[in-house]
Structures are given as C-alpha cells and as structure tokens.
Structure 1
Amino acid sequence: MTRIISGFAGSRELKVPKSGTRPTSDRVREAIFSALEARDVIEGAVVLDLFAGSGALALEALSRGARSVTMVEKAPQAGALLKANAELIRTAGKLDALSTRVVIASVAAYLGNPSSELFDIVFIDPPYDLSEAEVGHALQLLVPHVAQDAEIVLERSTRTGLPELPAEIVLDKSKAYGETTIHWLSRV
C-alpha cells in the first residue's frame, strides 16, 4: 500500500499500477521529505516528478505545501492512475486544477520542449534497469528547466553508480537505504 505520509492529505491511499513501476517506500519518502523540510524548501515550491509512476513523491510535496506539481510518466496505464491520484489529493486539499499537471510522455520528450517554467524541486526516480547513460541524458536535458537553487533528488539502485553528471549539476551527498540510494544534486 502506498499512501501520503503527512500534510493535508496524510494517510490517503494512492493507486499503484500492478506492474511496471516501483513505488518509493514510505521509509525512503519520509527521509527525503524530512531533509526537504529541514531545508525549508517545500512551501510554495514548483515541483517536477520525472518517471512519476503513482505520483507519490510529487503528491507528498503537494500535501506538504508545494504550490504546484508536474508529473511525467510515459506508460499510459500508469498515467491513468496518476491522474486519479492527482485528483484525489487535489480534491482533499481543495486546490485548483492548476496545482496538478499530468504529462503522458517520455521524460526525454517532455524535457526536450522549451519551457519558461523553472522547477524548485525535481524528483527523478527512473526504473532501476534504465542505463546510467539514459539517466545522464535526462539530467542534461533537465538543466534548463531548474531554478538556480533547485533541489534535485535522484533515486537509484544501490548497485548502480551515480550517472555522469552534466557540468551544471553537482552531487551534494548520497545516502543508501537498503536497495535504494538517494543522490542529492544541485545546480551550480
């Protein structure tokens, strides 16, 4: 069961696709959000969730005070559940329709389009079998979409290394939680 941990939608259950996604565990999400709250960056943030799956990361941020979330997922069946989850959380918080946006497209296709919107928090949780080269390419495409002081949270398998980072993005720290490692990145 995947649920929202805290905020106005705390304890609401999210729908998760039967296959093709690997939801971030409650333990790892709590660690991520404890760190983000300690940095005081969630309130009013514009959030991007790449490889969104159920949308648990973005919707957790929305429940904790983010201004808006954009969730990108290429699998149509996951996208349908993602839309339902976004509606559930948006309704729970009595938020307007502009607070959530679901994009059914590949991450490369979404990031390949120019946008004037800059994101304050970016969650990147690709399938563990996605190659480091593909993750590195997504990071390169991400650069023009993030604010100068953005928090970038990359979730990978502990068995894989950190992908090659573009010159504009640096590693702040990494922390392992069993099979999952969280890499905290920032824009320079």
Structure 2
Amino acid sequence: KAAQVCRSNAALVNKVLGSERVRVHRTKAETYLLRVPPGLAWDLVFLDPPYPLEEEGLAAVLEALAPRLADGAVVVVERSTRSPEPAWPAGLERFSEKAYGETTLWFAEPAAREDDAQE
C-alpha cells in the first residue's frame, strides 16, 4: 500500500513538472543498485530497510549508493529507534536526525570533496 501511495504522489509531481523525473522502485536496494545504468545520479533517496536488517547490509547499500548521488543530494534512512546510527561510508555524512516514537530518520548528504573545498 505504501508503494502505491508513493507511486500516486510521484505521478502527481511528474504531472506538475511535466516530466518523468520522480520514480518509485519497490525492490531491494542492493539489487536495484546493481542493475541501474552508470551515470545516473539521484537528488533524493529514501531508504526504508526492514528493521531487522543487519547493520552490515545497510552499510553495503550506503557504500554502493554514495558515489551515485548528485551534488546537494539528500539521503533519508528510516530505522528503528533501537537501531544504531548507520555506518556512513566515505563520501556521505549525516547532517540531521529525528526520532518519532519507534522510528528514527537519519538525514545524510554527499560529503564535500577535497577539490570542492579548495575552490
């Protein structure tokens, strides 16, 4: 049901934008990241892994995702409040978190690259 609501919302946004930029994929992130064509970069990513997912599995997804993000992108990871903060890979850093009862949202963005910091 949640994916269908997301698809409906994406269709509305695409209609307003006059494009097909917003897409919803209901699949395992690790599978999706392997089959997406190179060169595709995302501006906004919501990861809602199953709460019992081991931290190593989430870390692997974040590691594969980090180099695929556009400048200024935002990644939102939803986890159980009882779960530790995700292990952010090089190239991705947390900038905020918010807890809602049993759920915590972690917000991250691409880390500043050394060549960007020198400019």
Interval of TM-score (by shorter of Structure 1 and Structure 2): 0.7 to 0.9
Extract structure 1 runs of 4+ deviating beyond 3 A. 99-105
TM-score (norm 2): 0.75
Is the alpha carbon distance of 1:158 and 1:115 closer, same or farther for their aligned partners in structure 2, counting shifts above 3 Å?
A: same
RMSD: 2.5
Is 1:132–1:162's contact at 8 Å kept on the other side of the alignment? Answer: no
Percent identity for Structure 1 against Structure 2 = 32
List gaps (5 residues or longer) in structure 2.
Answer: 112-119
The aligned residue for residue 101 of structure 2 is 178
- After TM superposition, the structure 1 = structure 2 runs for residues 3-152 of structure 1, keeping only pairs within 5 Å, are 16=1, 53-54=2-3, 56=5, 59=6, 86=7, 90=11, 95=15, 98-103=20-25, 105-113=27-35, 114-152=37-75
> What is the alpha-carbon distance in structure 1 between the residues aligned to residue 45 and residue 14 of structure 2?
24
Q: State the Cα distance separating 1:148 from its structure 2 match.
A: 2.2
Q: Deviations over 1:159-188 (max 9, x none)?
A: 000121111111112221111111111111
Closer, same or farther: CA 165–94 of 1 in aligned 2, 3 Å: closer
Amino acid in structure 2 at the alignment position of 1:141:
A
Q: Deviations over 1:93-124 (max 9, x none)?
A: 67267345454542112112343221111111
Given the two structures, how large is their TM-score scaled by the length of structure 1?
A: 0.50
The 1:166–1:94 alpha-carbon spacing in structure 2 relative to 1, beyond 3 Å, is: closer
Q: What amino acid is aligned across from residue 33 of structure 2 in structure 1?
A: L
* Higher RCO (C-alpha 8 Å, min separation 6): 2
Q: Distance in 2 between matches of 1:121 and 1:169?
A: 13
How many residue pairs get aligned? The number is 108
| Residue equivalent to 1:32 | none
Change (3 A) 1:55 1:154: farther
